[in-house]
Amino acid sequence: MTDYPIRKINYGYKYETHMHTSEVSACAISSAHQQVETYKMMGYTGIIITDHFVNGYSTCPRKLDWEKKMQHIVSGYLKAKKAGDKHGLDVFLGWEYTISGLDFLTYGLDLEFMIAHPNFDRLGIEDYSALVRKNGGYLAQAHPYRKAWYLENSSPVSPHLIDGVEVYNIQDDYYSNEEALTFAKKHDLPIQGGTDSHRTYGHGYSGIKLSKRAESIHDIINEIKAKNVEIIYE
């Protein structure tokens, strides 16, 4: 799977692109602080917190108003950012948006955007994709071929609706990851890997490597889009 693409570049900076905190993702076990400590120990330069959005498996109370919901969604990131500043790990904000069982990693947007667009959790993929991209965000489909009992649907969306594809996810089997890579190559889409970490133990670690340190989430986005990344395989 390392044949897409091969470049003789020194990729020395490790980034996690898909992870959860117990503060926000109902399926997560490890806290933001525990995740930061672990990734620092594993030699990562940075992490992107991608907790489940309110339309996914979130701990967010449904009775809250929209602004308070959004503040809850970023609470895991804020705790991770504080811990990251202490331990020397760069922490960036993202989230995992769910539509009919399909998950989409969203980067490059912030709390101000979230608050300014009430109830965008109700959007379908066409409208959500347009909204994210119009506002300078990045959208990658996570584990598009995942096979699990809780999923009613597991397939990639139309390639024009996404900016990239997660082609290696630690939680998926070899064949699901291979199908995702084949899909990305067929449509010439940027690729990325991710651990999909919900806890700090019991699995390997993935993500991407960059040739230089990212100063912002947009640096990571630009490198992925330029296909100037190396996937971290377990």
Segment 73-109, tens digit of pLDDT: 999 999 999 999 999 999 999 999 999 889 999 999 9
Query: Cis link prior to 156 (omega < 30° from 0)?
Result: no
Of 36-45, 80-89, 146-155, 208-217, minimum mean pLDDT range = 146-155
**Each residue of 124-176: pLDDT tens digit?**
999 999 999 999 999 999 999 988 766 666 789 999 999 999 999 999 999 99
**Domain range annotation of the chain:** 13-232
Contact indicator for 193, 181 with CB cutoff of 8 Å = no
pTM of the prediction?
0.94
Helix or strand holding residue 133 (H, E): helix 125-134
Q: What is the mean pLDDT of the chain?
A: 94
The 3-state DSSP class for residue 38 equals helix
Instruction: Give the residue with greater pLDDT, 9 vs 55.
Output: 55
**Each residue of 177-207: pLDDT tens digit?**
999 999 999 999 999 999 999 999 999 999 9
What's the pLDDT score for residue 234? 80
| Torsion sign across C-alpha atoms 97, 37, 46, 173 | negative
Contact indicator for 208, 231 with CB cutoff of 8 Å = yes
The yes/no answer on whether domain 13-232 falls in CATH 3.20.20.140 is yes
Name the band, by pLDDT with cuts 50, 70 and 90, for residue 26. very high
